[in-house]
Amino acid sequence: MFFEFGQYQVDIDVDKTRLFYENAPLVSESCSCSGCRNFENAIMAIPSEIIGLFSNLGVDMRKVSEVYVNCSNSDGTLFYGGFYHLCGTLLAGKSAWVPNSPLTSHWEEEQAFRVADN
């Protein structure tokens, strides 16, 4: 299925992505820190448009591959970042992962596409 995200054009194999997430562990199964446990519960507070986007891609948002707390507000609200896997092909757009060497890469923030901003 064809999707556009900012500068990126991707062909996502939604069925294969959904199959991956059916077998992937919940974030709380691989990490027991309070941030990961809270993230799994906080998914329910994410706007329905975002949940719908991820669902259309075949992604179970509770099964994030990496999650971290970016910052917190004085009221205790946490702002998370994270990574999800997709099965498919990048058709257009420059990858945000830039090689440092044959074995390592770094993230170029200006190349990234944000689903939502603070």
64-99: pLDDT as tens digits: 888 888 888 889 888 888 888 999 998 988 777 888
- In this prediction, residue 112 has a pLDDT band, given cuts at 50, 70 and 90, of low
Find the mean pLDDT for residues 109-113.
67
- State how far the Cα of 57 lies from the Cα of 2, in Å rounded to an integer: 10
How does the average pLDDT of the chain come out, rounded? 84
- Model's pTM, two decimal places? 0.72
Question: Which residue bears the tokens 């719908």?
Answer: 52
Position 118 scores a pLDDT of: 43
Position 115 scores a pLDDT of: 57
- State how far the Cα of 62 lies from the Cα of 39, in Å rounded to an integer: 8
Sign for the pseudo-dihedral over CA of 106, 26, 69, 94: positive
pLDDT surpassing 70 at residue 52: yes
Position 13 scores a pLDDT of: 95
